Amino acid sequence: MLITIIVFLAMLSLLVLIHEAGHFISAIKFGVKVEEFGFGLPPRIFGIKKGETIYSINWLPIGGFVKLYGEDEAGAIVSV
């Protein structure tokens, strides 16, 4: 039972990593600056900066994200 859960979580993590890598590659291909490529959900455990992108491992290993330039809420346009 425990092995099944571990294998399931490992496979799910691999699928999330591949999915987020697709977003990352698409953004790079279309010239969008990627601020951070994160595996897991924040807070950050470890991060390394290469070029303009931070590659991070985060505390909750149940997801992932790609943070694109201009994606913060402060600069968001709100339509009413």
pLDDT of res. 23: 96
* Ordered alpha helix ranges (H), 1-80: 2-29
Q: Domain spans of the chain?
A: 2-75
| Residues with Cβ within 8 Å of residue 43, at least 6 apart in sequence | 58, 59
The larger pLDDT score, comparing residue 29 to residue 80, is at 29
- Provide the token pair at 79: 């339509």
Q: Which residues pair with 55 in a beta bridge?
A: 37, 48
| Residues with Cβ within 8 Å of residue 61, at least 6 apart in sequence | 9, 13, 39, 40
Write out pLDDT tens, residues 44-75. 999 999 999 999 999 987 899 999 998 876 65
- Is residue 35 flagged as an active site residue? no
In the set 20, 35, 36, 71, the catalytic residue is: 20
pLDDT of res. 80: 47
Q: How confident is the model at residue 1 (pLDDT cuts 50, 70, 90)?
A: very high
- Tell which residue, 61, 65, 64, has the closest CA to residue 35: 65
Length in residues, the chain: 80
Write out pLDDT tens, residues 7-46. 998 999 999 999 999 999 999 999 999 999 999 988 999 9
